[in-house]
Amino acid sequence: MKNIVLITISMVLTQSLFAQKVFSIKSDKLERTVSVSVQKPTNYQSSKSYPLVFMLHGYSENYEQWSKTTNLEKLATDYQMILVCPEGFVNYYLNSPNLKTFQYEDFFFQELVPNIEEKYNIDNKNIFITGLSMGGYGALSLFIKHSEFFNTAASTSGALEFDYENLKKVSLKFFESKRMTNDMEMTLGNPKENDWQKFSISSLLKNQKEFNKGFFIDCGLDDPLLSNTIQIKELALSKKLPIRFSIQPGEHNTEYWAKSVEYHFVYFKQHLKTE
């Protein structure tokens, strides 16, 4: 009986390890090595192609945040999708106008995507992106600017607007320092000399005249970034975009994100293309 139990445990661990993999990309666009975690369905078959979901982490966290937040193996298996969690550092997943060594948008499309497509069987007509907090910004930013690449996108508790005073308040609340605005200044330059607002999701929506796709945004009732999500909801509705919007009880924390992300996958499943 003991041997049977040991064999069973060994099989489960082997299956789990097979399904999830961490590898590194030596990036020219970022001039550093980028860690990437990939979660496949446990019943992954090399003869099939799978929808792809990029999952972006929040500020001060790393590529492992989503695996600590929710059961990625279960999500990948239940929805039969490949999940990719790349390292995003603290620079909001954009091409920095202030740092030549941080061009994340270029890294994403020119280095990360080809790497994933080379390693895994991807259904290229079904690609999605989501993120939490800073990653929520990254997900919507990349989606709005490259809407032809993704089916749709989602954001939970997104840091969607680059308002200096609000970001400073949030930084003081969570870190008792101005580290968030200091990192933002490193990325975008001095706010008195450079227009941070043009990078906000509201500005991107206004400037992308041909953009007409829907997306999913949600936030907790007690989240200090709730006003960001509400602002984008109102703007999207004014542009008659077919968005989905949700406010639920919760704060800016893992407990909330563990619940909210499941809704993103339900939404993605509804937007799968069969042809």
Distance CA(142)–CA(242), nearest Å, equals 18
CATH code of 88's domain = 3.40.50.1820
Joined together, the tokens standing for residue 221 give: 């009732």
Does residue 275 sit within a domain? Answer: no
The tens-digit pLDDT sequence of the chain (275 residues) is 444 444 433 333 434 445 789 999 999 999 999 999 999 999 999 999 999 999 999 999 999 999 999 999 999 999 999 999 999 999 999 999 999 999 999 999 999 999 999 999 999 999 999 999 999 999 999 999 999 999 999 999 999 999 999 999 999 999 999 999 999 999 999 998 999 999 999 999 999 988 999 999 999 999 999 999 999 999 999 999 999 999 999 999 999 999 999 999 999 999 999 97
Chain mean position to CA 84: 9
Q: Which helix (H) or strand (E) holds 254?
A: helix 254-270
Give the three-state DSSP class for 124.
strand
Distance CA(95)–CA(92), nearest Å, equals 9
Q: What is the dihedral of CA 155, 72, 24, 152, to 10 degrees?
A: -30
Query: Which pLDDT does position 85 carry in this prediction?
Result: 98
Query: Which pLDDT does position 13 carry in this prediction?
Result: 40
Distance CA(256)–CA(6), nearest Å, equals 36
Distance CA(166)–CA(84), nearest Å, equals 30
Query: Which pLDDT does position 11 carry in this prediction?
Result: 39
DSSP 77-108: HHHT-EEEEE--TTTTTSB-SS-TT-BHHHHI
Does residue 236 sit within a domain? Answer: yes
Query: Which pLDDT does position 250 carry in this prediction?
Result: 97
Distance CA(250)–CA(1), nearest Å, equals 45
Query: Which pLDDT does position 18 carry in this prediction?
Result: 53
Number of domains in the chain: 1
Query: Which pLDDT does position 14 carry in this prediction?
Result: 39
Domain around 169: 2-270
Query: Which pLDDT does position 209 carry in this prediction?
Result: 85
